[in-house]
Chains A and B, each alone.
Chain A
Amino acid sequence: MCLAVPMEVLSIEGDLARVDQAGVKTRVSLMICDEPPQVGDYVIVHAGFAIHRLDPETAHESLSLLADLLAAADEGPGREE
């Protein structure tokens, strides 16, 4: 039920934004979005509301964090008994 998907902001009018994901366009409220998005930003949308502005840098960081995690796993600690 807490399903939410990233969607691109196409235009903004007051508290409403027109958003798109893979060609599916809809209108969402920005009333509870954590940061005001700009056109071209991605937001996470849940039940008709944008709830989070995706920061491209954080998203990029999270991908490199995944790579770090893999590197660390190769030499990770074992369980000490």
Chain B
Amino acid sequence: MAVEGLLYTKDHEWARIDAGIATIGITDYAQQMLGELVFVELPAIGKEFAGYDELAVVESTKATSDIYSPVAGKVIEVNCKLESQPELINQDCYNAGWICKMQITDMKSIENLMDLKQYEEYVGGL
């Protein structure tokens, strides 16, 4: 299940854009594919990323996956709760399981992201 109002990547990240700030996480499809998450490596606050840069790493009992930055921006906040409760991503990937917030440095970088309808069509074709 994906939700309305977010933007999505083909790598199954989501971004919630609000006043130049993107909150970022992984989609329900991604967390289902990965299974029980046990570890999240969060980005450093203040670090800048171009779009599609390796932003974070999530590991489940059986899989490791890089999380790519859906936008170009600077990390301003990370979800520290994930360090001890990575399962929040499994339980609530679009809210409590957010990974980080970024100050978008290049608004153009969000142009290629998919909306809900496009993402659902994309996932449906996988």
A associates with B: no
